[in-house]
Structure 1
Amino acid sequence: MIDPDIRLRVRRILRGERRQDDLDRIFLYLRTRHFGRESIQEIGDFVAHRDRRQKGPVTRTARDVFVSFRNWLRTTQGLPFTAEDIIRAANANLRIATADQLRSRLDLRPEVVKSVLTQAVRKLERGKKLTTREERVFNYLGGAFIWNPAFTDHSIFDDLGEVLRQNGYLEEADEASFETIRHFLSLYVLTIMHGSALLMENGDLAHLQAGFRNKEAKLEVKAHLVSQDFSKPVIVPLCLYWTSLEAQQHSNLCSSAKQNGRVLWILGRMGCFALRSSPVYGDVIIHPLRILSFASGCHRCFESGHQK
């Protein structure tokens, strides 16, 4: 059934009016009518409860990336880790990795990678030998640090259009008008996420901040994840929402146009060093792990890796 108020707000946006309260109401309405589009439910949840997020794709992505990074850092710096740590990181990396990353690294479809990883874990728990393919999948997912945003402005725009169509609020004749809201929607999501906080599994809060400190000078929302495994904090600036908007074109939201690129600062026992990473998507493999036997503990064989 069409809601007259929502229909009015959609038509108003399509006519060119730009009111935040219209999008607030639309996302709140669609959060229970999203047809499986997670981004729409997530933005609606941010509108309803933005102070502290404990669930949803953005929180899940931040937690998974933190697990991936912490596992990678501990293994590269020689800190103790367990088989359970590696399995947890492998499952987190599987959720983070894009289909393109899995095809590039493993030449396998995501559903195949998931099946192979499940089988590899079962065999390792029983002390059985892995096949070459199982070992390759486990090495990558268990030994890599993978990072990706939860959403991009393009994915949210596409999802909103599809959900509005399926709910009967957007027709074919509206497509050109709907296209004009793209930048407004991108900025709206930026402001909705900025200032919120994610509750991490260790009880820490990761605060979300809008900015443009990246090589492309594009507007984004980051969370700063902190690990306390070393004598000094390890800070990971993670992009969770990436936009195609250039900061200089929206200078009212930016306090500075100076760019130094994305830098991942690692503060550890050996001092500090910087790892320059790709702006949005990426993975780093320093030494993939070969876990040969759970019964006798974790055996590591370090291989030379490469950064994509």
Structure 2
Amino acid sequence: MHATLQYLLDLLDLEPIEQDIFRGESHASVIPRVFGGQVAAQALVAACRTVPDDRLPHSLHSYFLRPGDPGARIVYTVDRIRDGRSFATRRVVAVQHGQAIFTLSASFARPEEGLEHQEPMPDAPDPESLPPAEELLPRYADLFVDPGVVDLLLQARQAIDLRYVNEPPFGTAGSPREPRAQVWFKLNGELTGKQDNAVAHLCIGTYVSDMTLLDSVLLAHGRGGWMTGDTVGASLDHAMWFHRPFRVDEWLLYDTDSPTSQSARGLARGRMFTRDGRLAVSVIQEGLMRVPR
């Protein structure tokens, strides 16, 4: 197992410090705040720790309230809102320096049979035909506001094999395109033993879901984002629906688009498909999108 993958797994293994209170480490960030996907994933881990094993999260809704401090630990407090016969609901608040930085509500359910359909998986080239991020990112070093961004991004993504289907927004700045983006991703390693469980796959999927979701908004306006300095952005809220089981150590296609942006806020939608075409996850996020003056 790659050391950075083990670090990611350790990051999601929260320390229990009291009944329904947990503490998590912060990940070194390429920007002066905690990565939003990390906070969302850790909050979901905390919620899962308080729910019976026969119930898994089927949806979450969250708000990013303040920038997280990457140099400080985060405390997660869980409220057990309801435990029904089939469903359970939890509310989680993430706190740093005595202030709430993030809040999440998650609903859990027992698996059961019912009506089933899904929209088809969109076309995409095989992931093996695409270069991994560690080969792609250095090509754009001259476009970044700081050449050191490449090394920091590669360190942050070593645990995840991420492959862009099309040119990323920082590679097409100045040329507006269709507001749609696709990436393939999977872990750089395999989950085994106690680490191989449904909750781990769901929480790592939550972590990755915030990595490239707003790319489609940037593409619509020919913007490169914070890495090129032409846009200042941040996640505002984040919602996910978990439809079918999936493994994050097998390829998943993350297909995203943006129906609108306005008032310095961009809306992005995402769908995660397994390689055999099953729709596993739906995601919606609104992000702050400001143009520096």
* Same fold at TM > 0.5: no
Normalised by the length of structure 1, the TM-score is 0.26
Higher strand share: 2
Larger radius of gyration: 1
